[in-house]
A = this chain, B = another copy of it.
Amino acid sequence: MARSASALRGQILESALRLFAVHGFRGTSLQDIASDAGCSKASLLYHFAGKEAILTELLTPARDAVATLLGRVAGLEGGRLVEETVTGYVDLALRYRREIQLLFEHIAEMSCHEDLGVMELADGLLDALAGRSRQAPARVAAWMVLGAVFITSASDEEVAPDEVLRAEMIRSALRTLDHTLS
């Protein structure tokens, strides 16, 4: 039976996001997604141009959110820049846990593949976390915060409730960057 509008579309995206996050992009077949979403594989390819299109649609909101964050901190500098970037990044990482997990995995899998500026966004985030500094210590610490927040928010083990996790991640990240909340 034909469901109303794109009810199935949302279900497909949800199933794909969950399965991609658990088994990875390559480790999840279109049949897996179809079975989970309760439809046929052919239905997937009616709603989406292909497997890559599903991935793109899943990653777009998170990517746009990061781009928005970068735009918001573009005019800042010094302490405010670092604080806003860290809190913004932690918030995004927690809100888009699985999407960011996917994004990093996707970078590892398809390194040479162009992804509409994913690497540029990571570079921008790195720059802001480093407080626009080009010095090695700041750059290394920024890299570490980038990975730390990612891994911690993506880990499914419940080390702490989200509010506690958020607060501690922000505090730890600022310590890593040798910066204390003003």
Contacts and interface: CB of A to CB of B under 8 A. Distances in A.
Interface string A133-170: 00011011101111111111001000110001100110
B111 A140 contact: no
A136 B148 contact: no
Interface in A168-182: 168-169, 171-173, 175-176, 178
B140 A152 contact: yes
Interface of A is mostly: helix
A175 B165 CA distance: 18
A151 B140 contact: no
B151 A147 contact: yes
Interface of A: 22-24, 26-27, 101, 105, 108-111, 136-137, 139-141, 143-152, 155, 159-160, 164-165, 168-169, 171-173, 175-176, 178
